[in-house]
Amino acid sequence: MRIKPVIATVCAAAIALPAMPVSASQSQSNTVAEKKQEEKKICRWVDRTGSHIAERFCLTAEEWRKVEEYLAKEF
């Protein structure tokens, strides 16, 4: 598939993206459980272009959401 090489590139870019700032009111409203869930890493195996070996990427749920949004816009 042509999408797999793009996923690897997008994942690498998502790791490099800086976190968006959160206002003080939003940060206070989050509970401890919500913060732990946001920080939890989700790991996925992604095929690399030019290689038969997949690479493991671990991102937060928010970062994976950004990757999926980017891919939806591109395709």
Residue 71 within any structural domain of the chain: yes
10-19, 30-39, 46-55, 61-70: which range is least confident on average?
A: 10-19
Dihedral angle computed from the Cα positions of residues 17, 21, 22 and 24, in that order, rounded to the nearest 10 degrees: 160
Residue 11 within any structural domain of the chain: yes
The pTM for the full model equals 0.47
Residue 26 within any structural domain of the chain: no
Using one digit for the tens of pLDDT, what is the confidence trace for 35-45? 666 678 999 99
Residue 1 pLDDT level (bands cut at 50, 70, 90): very low
Residue 12 pLDDT level (bands cut at 50, 70, 90): low
Cα separation, 10 vs 66, in Å, equals 9
Residue 27 within any structural domain of the chain: no
Of 26, 7, 20, nearest in space to 64 by CA: 7
Provide the number of structural domains found in the chain.
1
Residue 30 within any structural domain of the chain: no
Residue 33 within any structural domain of the chain: no
Please give the residue range of the domain that contains residue 13: 1-17+38-75
